[in-house]
Structure 1
Amino acid sequence: MVEKEQNIDITVAGGYQPNVVTVKQGIPAKLTFTRTNAQGCLDIVHSKALGFEKELPLNEAQTVTIPTDKAGEFEFSCGMDMFSGKVVIEK
């Protein structure tokens, strides 16, 4: 059976849980962030390496599609770069 899509849920509350996620190379992947804490700088998540920036309204799931064409480790962080997480794309 061929996987068509990878979906990862990340809770945003004083950081990211989980803060390291692993996906497979070449299979489309979506990260869904849900902010459950009103801490200010966590209202934005961004990643230059993965090419996204997303506002995170409180208690509203926000999904980003990430490229999976290259294997490696790619960071994402809050608007002030105080909290971070990592996406590991495995071959």
Structure 2
Amino acid sequence: MTDFLAATGPTGAARQTASSVSSSSGVQEVDIIMKGGYSPDVIEVERGKPVQLRFYRDEENSRSEELLMPDFSIRRDLPAFQTTLVELLLQQAGTFVFTCGMGMLRGSLVVK
């Protein structure tokens, strides 16, 4: 499960921020739906705890078939109508961008 908060981005467009929910094993879990963009597009997690991002691609648009997280050297194919897991253990606080393969669709991982 993910808690959603409404926020406004720099263009005035509504953005969704999600804070991770820790499972019983202590893993921070976040579900992200990819359909014309990332929802939520801002994800907040705590540093030093394992993170599991579950990207579900709910479309066949070629723009969304790849996920890039350059700060972590991660590149993943996102098959249509399937969930792709990305697991991280983040030791450094900061804001890290993730994008589609073309760089047009963007999201942020905020580590506190």
TM-score (norm 1): 0.92
Q: State the aligned residue count.
A: 89
Q: Which fold has the larger relative contact order, with Cα–Cα distance below 8 Å and residues 6 or more apart in sequence?
A: 1
Whole-angstrom distance in 2 between the partners of 1:60 and 1:29:
19
Moved over 3 A (4+): none
Whole-angstrom distance in 2 between the partners of 1:23 and 1:50:
15
Whole-angstrom distance in 1 between the partners of 2:43 and 2:61:
22
Which residue is equivalent to 2:111? 89
* 1:34–1:59 contact (8 Å) kept in structure 2: yes
For structure 2, the 5+ residue unaligned runs are 1-23
Pick one of 5, 10, 20 that aligns with 2:42. 20
* Aligned-pair identity (%): 30
Pick one of 24, 27, 31 that aligns with 1:9. 31
1:66 Cα deviation after fit: 2.1
Whole-angstrom distance in 1 between the partners of 2:96 and 2:35:
21
Pick one of 48, 57, 62 that aligns with 1:40. 62
Which residue is equivalent to 2:80? 58
Which residue is equivalent to 1:67? 89
